[in-house]
Structure 1
Amino acid sequence: MDDEQVLLPEDVPSQWGSDVIAETIRATGVPYVALNPGASYRGLHDSLVNYLGNRDPQMLLCLHEEHAVAIAHGYAKVTDRPMAAAVHSNVGLMHATMAVFNAYCDRAPMLLLGATGPVDADSRRPWIDWIHTAADQAALVRPYVKWDDQPASVRASAASLLRGNQLTRTHPTAPVYVCFDAAVQEQPFDGRVVVDPARYAPLAESLPSPESVAAAAELLAGAQRPVILAGRGSRDQAEWDRRIALAERLGAPVLTDLKVAAGFPTDHPLHAGTPGLFLSPANNELLRGADVILSLDWLDLGGTLRQATGSAEPQARVVSASVDHQLFNGWTKNDHFLAAVDVSLQSRPDAAVAALLERLPERSPAAAPSPAAAADPVQRPVEATGPTGRLTVSFLTRTLREATRDLPVTLVRTPFAWNPDLWPVRGPLDYLGTDGGGGIGSGPGLAVGAALALAGRERLAVAVLGDGDYVMGVTALWTAARYDIPLLVVVANNNSFFNDELHQDRVARARGRAVENAHVGMRLEGPEPDLAQLASAQGVHGIGPVRTPEELVDAMKRAVDSVLAGRPTVVDVRVERGYSGDTAAAIAERSR
């Protein structure tokens, strides 16, 4: 990665409080710190550059604090490990809060570094230090971080970093926030804080009790109609393979969820139906007929069961592998509807899978299905254009897949209109899920962070974004251009906040009002934003607008060639408004 040259003597002694903080950050092992600079941590900034030499971690300059946090979030989605993001005082933290909430809801590890003006009022500069100092700065994010601290000395700052690093890496993972006093950073410090990172490692993960594993294995072994809900899982290939082995051992159909990263191959014979943001009618029926349901940290288990069974408790016995409850609090309701659970395996879901495989009896090889060579969905006929003559998202998907078919691709994001049947997921890095908190504008930053983590892995990072998400976060792409991070962003541009058009349509119908007005206050028209020019303004290669099938085929080829040459690239594709059949049906059923 490209970086500024740092003039640094061979041996720079530690002389300041921020030098110790910087050295401790290095000890945590985070490779990068994404930041938008600010005076509250000017001492730490100097230490990262002039004491550490801008190495381990390397700074990544961002144009907005929300992008800095989103980039760290995207990095964690690929690696299951944290990087750092730094935000300036209360104002920078307020800019970043949406991205922090996304990362928390997505259970992404992250070392969030902050700073406040001098806590000692006598040390504050007039005006600016006063408005950038808060009595309890972490209160801005405390409901959606795992832990926070504001240490008051140099040694305490080092200890807080070590604890925060330990906690953010311990399952269930989530961001932590450490706020440094500006005066502590800038005080002389002639002592030394020796850190052995091995002594402050993440806490050992909890394992399900033998009794709970035995009870779950008994239910599953005796089930006639088991169903597995594959929710949050790791990006580890061995753990991916064990999930497949468990499903095959049980002969159980598996449901997956587009809100979280890939959990199971979608073209495996045991994968049931089409994954989506909401359960399809067919998958609801499958759940209603199950006699045992195994939830592997399924997002909103209670709400999913309620959607399938109504207000009645499910007839199926429910086994749940999760410790997500450890992050629940009273402020944010991402605890979701309380699920009826018969056996609780209190562990990381992949640890529960391994324990169940050891306990469950083997099936005969003939009884265990194996993946079949299905017809390649890229060959399925799709309509190139829709009723208004615009390109369909299905045709965009097929064209993009054809252009990348010889490359391993990581889908970082997809829009609501995405049809997953046209893009099989076959490995743990094939798809990374959504942003967690439903905050529009996160997509570009997440894409940059994921591409950063994938650099050197010979995988192409591809994000298919909605136009609203893109325009809110487009300046995050400057960081990709600045640090030569290869990335392909395709904007499925329907010139509308279309999901809200559907909401207005629904309200108008319920009230007997004019549905023809549903688009008012929703369309990005008069003028239409020039998305390719917005990309070019960030130093990124911009292509488009693309309006015809022939233009799209050519644009995708040029875009892939551009990214393979090392240049981040954006393609603006003008698409029809609307969703795929399965998505539309699921939304309609959910809205009843």
Structure 2
Amino acid sequence: MSQRSPSRDASRRNFLKGATLAGAAALTTPAAANTPPPDLPADRPKAPVPGPRLAAAETTLPPVDPDPVKQSSSGGDFMVDVLKTLDIDYLAMNCASSFRGLHEALVNHGGNKPEILTCAHEEIAVHMAQGYAKIEGKPMAMICHGVVGLQHATMAMYNAWCDRVPMLVMGGNIIEANKRGPGAEWVHSAIDPAAIVRDFVKWDDQPTSLQHFAESAVRAYKVAVTPPMAPVMLSLDAELQENPIGDPAALRIPRLATVIPPQGNDAALAQLAKMLVDAETPVIICDRMARTPAGMTRLVELAETLQCAVIDNFGRMNFPSRHPLNQSFRRSIISQADVILALEVNELWGSLNDFSDRIVRSSAPKYKKTAKIVTLGSRDLYMKSNYQDFGRYQEVDLTIAGDAEASLPALTEQVKRLIDEGKKSTFEARGKKLAGAKLATIAQAKSDATIGWDASPITTARLCAELYGQIKDEDWSLVGTSIRLSWPHKLWNIDKSYQWNGGSGGAGVGYTLPASLGAALANKRHGRLTVAIGGDGDFMFVPSTLWTAAHHRIPLLYIVHNNRAYHQEYMYLQAMAARHGRGITNTDIGTTIKDPNVDYATVARGFGVYGEGPISDPRDLGPALKRAIAVVKTGQPALVDVVMDQR
């Protein structure tokens, strides 16, 4: 990270020295791979006693302020009072001088409410907020340091933008040139800090007064949680945070009134209902439709009323995985559809067309030319132009703007009014055929999962089957998987809204571990067993997330899908080499994570997290998972490093 200030550097050096000593102590007593985990004490062992020089550095008071006048309040105090009205439970940060005023106000004036989550990188802080919001259904806040902290946060903010997740991002800044100290405060400040993220936040502001902050903070929260949801950002001047409040009586905090999500037009919904009832083979495709637990219930009611196929793109937990009408792994049914309804589908063209990028890029539609295509969602209500997260333009026959979840009850009622006994009999016959196809799909998946069952590296199917066998009777929540790891959706019974929360949104590497931790934080108060499976390449971007997990005692079972490569890119490179007739001998250069192989369990233990592995013998997998789950049930995080097949 870029240099922040001389005093901060000294503090960080002391912290890092202490962390190194603690990490070394942890590494001297690693947990044996085949023995039960030790009892975890409520209070962790203390770090070694520091020597005289280190002790003096840690206990020396800061320089005396030459001004003997003491403040009775600060702008940061008022900012904390505003945040407390916004139903924000947590604020993630990597501490820094540009928001020291707000930081101090949080811990002293605010009593650490919202609770601070200490993160070693701004990307971790943002991704934690992303995972948290998708489980808890409300935003988390994060704050970053000037332009450099914001630059670290941008990848995660882009993921959250593409994933349509609300969060309140704040950044420290020093607006007035005559108030900036020489050195770091100049290179870390900007006239317009949010310019770098403006294309992937929904709204931003830079308040110039405390009243301005109060109104902008309330507006920001309201904008963030209004569908289509997205991150928002406030740039906070350091002087505004730190200086005394001039006239407290003149300040007021506006009331927050969140927007009721807009329902689709009644006449358009009636037209859609008639199309669905008259169709012989209607198909529903959904992506980020279920923004609350009610979403899945409402979609099930509509699908069962029509007895029609549902294809879930897994952007959220939209439809039960084992429901007879769930045809997500029979996408060929799209070619039979005469009416296709897309609910909050981000990239419809990609769902309705086959695309090949081999030799010459080509595409072909999956659907019939006569099929009627209808979209229902909030995607058309807000869009930006620079980043291309909206996908290729897809021609449709009817577009209904409105929140899909909010619109489903009215649509279902319209459908029910149009169904007579003859239609009901036809629908029941259609449903029976789909149920039979679903049973066949499940049977095929179970059979496919046995292929290479005893192989080493361990197959991804065996990992998912073994894991489900140990958690299926728990109140579990799967909050992340490595790229294209679809086995849980094929094999597991996923029927609760929190049992799956979607992917990264922008496919940015480094999402899975911190976002899973944020989701685990949301699940913690509900007593759920949180599990995630993440790729080794993804883990390597943000391994210090584990320290936050240990420090805040967030229970999470994290399984590293260790294929010792950035395997998607490895396959792409092989395809390119084959295309050019050059052989694949050299395609491990720049694509693999080996020589040396990484021991992720040892890394975990160094951060204070229980770690097992690397597990390469499939016979060791089940016992290792059992031990790790036992640790998580005590309220602690655990990691299992599994050497697995590529996909």
Q: CA separation of 1:154/1:488 partners in 2, compared to 1, >3 Å: closer, same or farther?
A: same
Task: For 1:211-226, list aligned pairs within 5 A.
Answer: 211-226=267-282
Q: Which runs of 4 or more aligned residues in structure 1 lie more than 6 Å from their structure 2 counterparts after TM superposition?
A: 370-379
Of 558, 562, 565, the residue aligned with 1:496 is 565
Task: For 1:219-298, list aligned pairs within 5 A.
Answer: 219-258=275-314, 260-274=315-329, 282-283=330-331, 285-298=332-345
- Give SS of 1:60's match: strand
Letter in 2 for 1:558: R
Question: How many angstroms does 1:529 deviate by?
Answer: 1.0
Tell me what 1:394 maps to.
Answer: 461
Task: For 1:439-478, list aligned pairs within 5 A.
Answer: 439-478=508-547
Tell me what 2:107 maps to.
Answer: 49
Tell me what 1:102 maps to.
Answer: 159
Tell me what 1:89 maps to.
Answer: 146
Question: How many angstroms does 1:313 deviate by?
Answer: 8.5
- Give SS of 2:208's match: coil
Question: How many angstroms does 1:53 deviate by?
Answer: 1.0
Contact 2:291 2:405 in 1 (8 A): no
Of 180, 183, 190, the residue aligned with 1:127 is 183
Q: CA separation of 1:548/1:158 partners in 2, compared to 1, >3 Å: closer, same or farther?
A: same
Question: How many angstroms does 1:385 deviate by?
Answer: 4.5
Tell me what 2:381 maps to.
Answer: 326
Does residue 164 in structure 1 map to residue 211 in structure 2?
Answer: no
1:14, 1:313 → 2: CA distance? 71
Contact 2:479 2:532 in 1 (8 A): yes
Of 150, 155, 161, the residue aligned with 2:211 is 155
Tell me what 2:555 maps to.
Answer: 486
Letter in 2 for 1:394: A
Contact 2:94 2:120 in 1 (8 A): yes
The TM-score with structure 2 as length reference comes to: 0.82
- Higher alpha-carbon deviation: 330-339 or 231-240: 231-240
Letter in 1 for 2:185: D
Of 172, 185, 190, the residue aligned with 2:241 is 185
Tell me what 1:316 maps to.
Answer: 371
- Higher alpha-carbon deviation: 429-438 or 142-151: 429-438
Letter in 2 for 1:293: I
- Give SS of 1:71's match: helix
Tell me what 1:412 maps to.
Answer: 479
2:534, 2:589 → 1: CA distance? 22
Question: How many angstroms does 1:196 deviate by?
Answer: 5.7
1:122, 1:156 → 2: CA distance? 22
Task: For 1:490-529, list aligned pairs within 5 A.
Answer: 490-529=559-598
Of 322, 346, 351, the residue aligned with 1:299 is 346
Does residue 360 in structure 1 map to residue 415 in structure 2?
Answer: yes
Contact 1:305 1:314 in 2 (8 A): no
Tell me what 1:583 maps to.
Answer: none
Of 67, 81, 87, the residue aligned with 1:23 is 81
Letter in 2 for 1:165: Y
Question: How many angstroms does 1:382 deviate by?
Answer: 3.7
Question: How many angstroms does 1:140 deviate by?
Answer: 1.0
Deviations 1:415-446 (A, max 9, x none): 23442312232222111111111111111110
Deviations 1:324-367 (A, max 9, x none): 13332111101111122222221111112111012112656775
Q: CA separation of 1:133/1:196 partners in 2, compared to 1, >3 Å: closer, same or farther?
A: closer
1:374, 1:236 → 2: CA distance? 28
Letter in 2 for 1:401: Y
Tell me what 1:79 maps to.
Answer: 136
Letter in 1 for 2:129: A
Question: How many angstroms does 1:504 deviate by?
Answer: 0.7
Letter in 1 for 2:295: E
- Give SS of 1:465's match: strand
Tell me what 1:546 maps to.
Answer: 615
- Higher alpha-carbon deviation: 136-145 or 299-308: 299-308
Question: How many angstroms does 1:192 deviate by?
Answer: 3.9
Question: How many angstroms does 1:194 deviate by?
Answer: 5.7
Deviations 1:474-533 (A, max 9, x none): 211211111111100011111111101110111112222212322222111110111001
Tell me what 1:142 maps to.
Answer: 198
- Higher alpha-carbon deviation: 337-346 or 458-467: 337-346
2:370, 2:589 → 1: CA distance? 45
Letter in 2 for 1:342: D
Deviations 1:163-183 (A, max 9, x none): 101100111100000001111
Of 340, 346, 366, the residue aligned with 2:401 is 346
1:401, 1:207 → 2: CA distance? 38
The TM-score with structure 1 as length reference comes to: 0.89
Contact 2:214 2:253 in 1 (8 A): no
1:480, 1:441 → 2: CA distance? 16
- Give SS of 2:303's match: helix
- Higher alpha-carbon deviation: 340-349 or 164-173: 340-349
Aligned-pair identity in percent equals 34
Unaligned stretches of 5+ residues in structure 1: 3-11, 275-281, 580-592
Contact 1:559 1:570 in 2 (8 A): yes
- Give SS of 2:88's match: coil
Question: How many angstroms does 1:235 deviate by?
Answer: 4.9
Letter in 1 for 2:515: L
Deviations 1:444-470 (A, max 9, x none): 110110000011213211110111111
Q: CA separation of 1:314/1:425 partners in 2, compared to 1, >3 Å: closer, same or farther?
A: farther
Contact 1:226 1:290 in 2 (8 A): yes
- Higher alpha-carbon deviation: 136-145 or 126-135: 126-135
- Give SS of 1:533's match: helix
Letter in 2 for 1:86: I
Question: How many angstroms does 1:208 deviate by?
Answer: 1.1
1:389, 1:452 → 2: CA distance? 34
Contact 1:20 1:192 in 2 (8 A): no
2:553, 2:451 → 1: CA distance? 34
Contact 2:612 2:641 in 1 (8 A): yes
Letter in 2 for 1:338: Y
Does residue 59 in structure 1 map to residue 106 in structure 2?
Answer: no
Q: CA separation of 1:500/1:170 partners in 2, compared to 1, >3 Å: closer, same or farther?
A: same
Deviations 1:204-248 (A, max 9, x none): 321211111111111111111100002112353333111011011
- Higher alpha-carbon deviation: 217-226 or 227-236: 227-236
Contact 1:215 1:343 in 2 (8 A): no
Contact 1:288 1:314 in 2 (8 A): no
Question: How many angstroms does 1:316 deviate by?
Answer: 1.3
- Give SS of 1:180's match: strand
2:556, 2:162 → 1: CA distance? 25
Contact 1:411 1:431 in 2 (8 A): yes
Deviations 1:260-306 (A, max 9, x none): 122111211111142xxxxxxx51x3212211111111120123223
Of 556, 561, 565, the residue aligned with 2:630 is 561
- Give SS of 1:200's match: coil
Unaligned stretches of 5+ residues in structure 2: 1-41, 44-69, 356-362
Instruction: Give the aligned CA root-mean-square deviation in angstroms.
Output: 2.5
- Give SS of 2:302's match: helix
1:326, 1:97 → 2: CA distance? 24
Question: How many angstroms does 1:379 deviate by?
Answer: 6.8
Does residue 421 in structure 1 map to residue 478 in structure 2?
Answer: no
Letter in 2 for 1:49: V
Does residue 116 in structure 1 map to residue 173 in structure 2?
Answer: yes
- Higher alpha-carbon deviation: 335-344 or 458-467: 335-344
